[in-house]
Structure 1
């Protein structure tokens, strides 16, 4: 999601919800890798570029999960995924509702 457009700052203040991680953040319209797909501004003003591992951690992937080396492929996996912790909570909720309905 583009923040600020062409005339305003390209950052989102920390008090606003963060953007959703999308597959399109990792590739351009021609299918080429984007080397800078996510920057984070730290409170001291330092700007850090996130690695695939950093974005995966934000999305909830465990540290042991191995991604392909290609940024576009790894980004597709991350961008099309449902955060594992969310999927787990959703499944547990659905399971408890179904168990209650059976009893």
Structure 2
């Protein structure tokens, strides 16, 4: 799976509309969700694609102008660590979530 695009639009009252373009195998999916933050938004988008990703542990570090996010992810009974980096905190988190989904689906 690969994240091709991500857009967030503020709706007010702490809610946002998220739209993503995801490549899953050879298929491109465009999905949207309304949520309180990017992690909840990506979780909802993945869920709509049949990917049940649960985040058990979250750690994020600033690296002098960029960020690294480390997630302990679970899908069913399987758990794995994943990491993502990005220029913004949310970007690194989304990349870590995609990495976690990819690692867990490879282990199946």
Relative to the length of structure 1, the TM-score reads: 0.31
- The structure that has the greater radius of gyration is 1
Greater strand content: 2
Higher helix share: 1
TM-score under structure 2 length normalisation: 0.30
